[in-house]
Structure 1
Amino acid sequence: MKVCVFGTRGFPGMQGGVEKHCESLYPNMPQDICFDVCRRKSFVTDSKKYPNINFVDIKNTEKRGLEATFHSFISSIYAIKTKPDVVHIHNIGPAMFAPILKLFGQKVVLTYHSANYEHKKWSKPEKLVLKMCEHFALKYSDRVIFVNKEQMGKYPSKIIAKSCYIPNGVNPPTDTEDTSFLEENHLQKQKYILSVGRITPEKGFDTLIKAFYKSGLNNEYKLAIVGGVEFEDSYKKELDSLVTDDSVVFTGFADGERLAQLYKNARLYVLASNNEGFPLVMLEAMSYGLNLLASDISATRMIDLGKGAYFPAGDYNTLAEKMKKAINLDYTEVKYDLSQYNWKSIANKVASIYRELKN
């Protein structure tokens, strides 16, 4: 069986939740399924190869708002020419070309990661376009995979009938004794609070920084924000304007061994997002046994962290109080049950959808 994949910038080693999702999903697929994964060439930095994956690197525009559209259009043409058994599209924006794929007889699977039109970074016209994309995506896809069960429940029965809930997964933690990346960023074991994500407004890093200073923890602890900046330069400048000393550290994008160092040695993990589909970083933090605080949104409620772990999204005063309380408790590693978030099991569920469509 052959499957063409697009809607991701690609993998390995690329920033983004969809990218991490794909990097874990496809290498865990049964070996009798071969994949053409369409990547955005300007983002490719790693030459790693996989036995059942062929990377199709497509030159793309880097203009904000057109990057995903251009890549999805070229990827759709590639799929039409190569005639795979299934086309798997990630997220609603790239699925705007699903009607054209159906016109040429393609079987289409959509993974709905998040309602992108809810993100603050988009203008009103851009949000309207994304809503239109969602309409096409849901109407013309043969099967829809939701990573968020609550999101799936928002749609008419006709959509739900061809949909299923398959959550994101998590890989086993990396056991590392190296602390060189910590030292590079002037961080000490158990003396920093961690948050990971692309530097965009929906991640709520402004709320987190305000809460960190409000709590007074900056006198003894540091706040490590791990993520790169792409198009949201103005938001990064806003965050910089909130920083008043060297206790807030922006490490830039990190993955692999460097990210493992940060997870393993953190004192507390905070997810302050205003919008999420299903936050992979939350599962990653849990895999390292970290205590967590999370904004009270539907995506974070999918995993019950306990009543005291949540705070209203955007409420930095409440977050400050909860951060102080969490830090003042004796540190103990938390044992979470992550058995249902096994990538191999998740990959087999997705593979069964492919086989159903082919037959």
Structure 2
Amino acid sequence: MSSSGQALSVEEIDGYSPRLPSIARTGARQRVMMLGLRGIPSVQGGVEKHVEMLAAKLAAQGWGVEVVGRRRYLAQSPHSSGHGIRVFSLWAPRMMALEAIVHTFIGVCFAALRRPDILHIHAIGPALMVPLARMFGLKVVVTHHGYDYDRQKWGGFAKGMLKLGERLGMRLAHGRIAISKEIVETMGARYRVPVSFVPNGVAVAPWRGESGVLEEFALGRRRYVLLAARLVPEKRQIDLIRAFARLGDAGFKLVLAGGAEFETPYAREVKAIASRVPGVVLTGFQTGERLTELFANAALFVLPSSHEGMPIALLEAMAYGLPVLASDIIANRALGLPDEDYFPLGDIEALAAAIAGKLGNPPREEKILARMAHVEATYSWTSVAQKTLSVYGALKR
């Protein structure tokens, strides 16, 4: 395997602990395997984005990074993601309730053959396999990305299994990470174990020119409201469509960028309701230059979700300097936005009024630049990588 660049010494990374393992000190490449996601690169999902960005940073620091993804989301196996990261696509059943856990079981067995220095499992569902990984003698780190048992799509049995995965992951992993301070505090109190806070980061690709996506969907610059999210019940696209419908003909469109892995009743309902409201545009899943152009030219970003771990899409919108609106759930509140950037979850009338207010009063340029600078300084993927490596390094002492 090749890394994406020459390995940096410990001292070349600002704030990096000198006790962390590095090629310069050990003379050997450390290897981490990431498991518990659909795959990378450019696969829809918050965990997928987190792993894609983190893996690139770790590879740049000289770590050997292997990512295990699910075959139907990936083009070939094995292959390089383009960042010096090796990606393996393994089979998983195409069933919503079984896909993640069966794939993680196969992935842990694969890890037992590959023998990475660290097996990094992402999300509490896949953490059900931590006991198996321990049985194989693997060093395991688990990242808690959010309370997945609160997602509306799961029934009672699935919620119980997710809670069990959380318990096993927190109690049996060698290292534990959570992406929000609230999760850190809750897990520490619930399981009496140390949990490291490593938030999501954000990296914004500069808009280099027209990709054709605005022309394809007849969108004008600064003339549409944007939500970029999967079509799942907790993202509450239907709330946003209904609020948008109350605006009448305001000269703006509503763009819902995102798709669904499975053709669920919720996805069908979103499409049916959208078809009856003038100005609603469903673009499907977008990535790369096309998604960049959608963010860069939106008038407003809205995240009406009922469940988040730490909302990467909201951070990305802020990094583009967009005015934003978010539901007042704990995960969104944790970003510390002004009160006027929040609305009560599920309150359609309040959301409609907030959208109208934001569109009628666009922010001044100095406020846009200040928000962009704040996000860049606070949510750096380099910082995420440093904190993650601190967790890895603690396992070697």
**Into which bin does the TM-score normalised by the smaller protein fall?**
over 0.9
Give yes or no for contact 2:240–2:348 (8 Å, CA) kept in 1: yes
Shift of 1:208: 0.5
Superposed CA deviations along residues 297-351 of structure 1, whole A, max 9, x for unmatched, are 1111121220111011111110001011111114534231021211012112111
In the alignment, what sits opposite 1:33?
Answer: 63
Residues 223-232 or 150-159, more deviating: 150-159
Superposed CA deviations along residues 188-213 of structure 1, whole A, max 9, x for unmatched, are 11110000100000001111111111
Structure 2 unpaired stretches of 5+: 1-29
1:250 matched to 2:282? The reply is yes
In the alignment, what sits opposite 1:139?
Answer: 171
In the alignment, what sits opposite 2:223?
Answer: 191
Give yes or no for contact 2:299–2:359 (8 Å, CA) kept in 1: yes
Distance 2:151 2:75 in 1: 28
In the alignment, what sits opposite 1:212?
Answer: 244
Distance 1:252 1:104 in 2: 41
Superposed CA deviations along residues 269-291 of structure 1, whole A, max 9, x for unmatched, are 10000000001001110111000
Query: Cα gap change, 1:210/1:80 in structure 2, threshold over 3 Å: closer, same or farther?
Result: same
Shift of 1:107: 1.3
Distance 2:80 2:32 in 1: 20
In the alignment, what sits opposite 2:24?
Answer: none
Give yes or no for contact 1:274–1:297 (8 Å, CA) kept in 2: yes
Q: Secondary structure of the equivalent of 1:122? A: coil
In the alignment, what sits opposite 2:3?
Answer: none
1:42 matched to 2:80? The reply is no
1:1-359 correspondence to structure 2 within 5 Å: 1-29=30-58, 30-45=60-75, 49-50=81-82, 52-157=84-189, 159=191, 161-178=193-210, 180-216=212-248, 218-243=249-274, 244-333=276-365, 334=368, 335-336=370-371, 337-338=374-375, 339-359=377-397
Shift of 1:56: 1.6
One-letter code aligned to 2:253: K
Structure 1 unpaired stretches of 5+: none
Shift of 1:158: 7.7
Q: Secondary structure of the equivalent of 1:224? A: strand
Q: Secondary structure of the equivalent of 1:126? A: helix
One-letter code aligned to 2:49: K
Between the aligned residues of both structures, percent identity stands at 37
What is the TM-score with the length of structure 1 in the denominator? Answer: 0.95
Give yes or no for contact 2:226–2:302 (8 Å, CA) kept in 1: yes
Distance 2:122 2:39 in 1: 11
Distance 1:297 1:255 in 2: 27
Query: Cα gap change, 1:188/1:51 in structure 2, threshold over 3 Å: closer, same or farther?
Result: closer
One-letter code aligned to 1:272: P
One-letter code aligned to 1:222: K
Distance 1:345 1:50 in 2: 22
Give yes or no for contact 1:87–1:108 (8 Å, CA) kept in 2: yes
One-letter code aligned to 2:112: I
Distance 2:83 2:219 in 1: 38
Q: Secondary structure of the equivalent of 1:223? A: strand
Superposed CA deviations along residues 47-73 of structure 1, whole A, max 9, x for unmatched, are 653454221211221111111011100
Distance 1:282 1:245 in 2: 25
Query: Cα gap change, 1:135/1:69 in structure 2, threshold over 3 Å: closer, same or farther?
Result: same
Distance 1:186 1:160 in 2: 54
Distance 1:2 1:172 in 2: 27
Query: Cα gap change, 1:329/1:179 in structure 2, threshold over 3 Å: closer, same or farther?
Result: farther
Query: Cα gap change, 1:102/1:328 in structure 2, threshold over 3 Å: closer, same or farther?
Result: same
Give yes or no for contact 2:226–2:298 (8 Å, CA) kept in 1: yes
Distance 2:166 2:180 in 1: 15
Residues 301-310 or 276-285, more deviating: 301-310
Q: Secondary structure of the equivalent of 1:215? A: coil
Give yes or no for contact 1:13–1:45 (8 Å, CA) kept in 2: no
Shift of 1:5: 1.2
What is the TM-score with the length of structure 2 in the denominator? Answer: 0.86
Higher relative contact order (CA 8 A, sep 6+): 1
Distance 2:308 2:98 in 1: 22
Aligned residue-pair number:
358
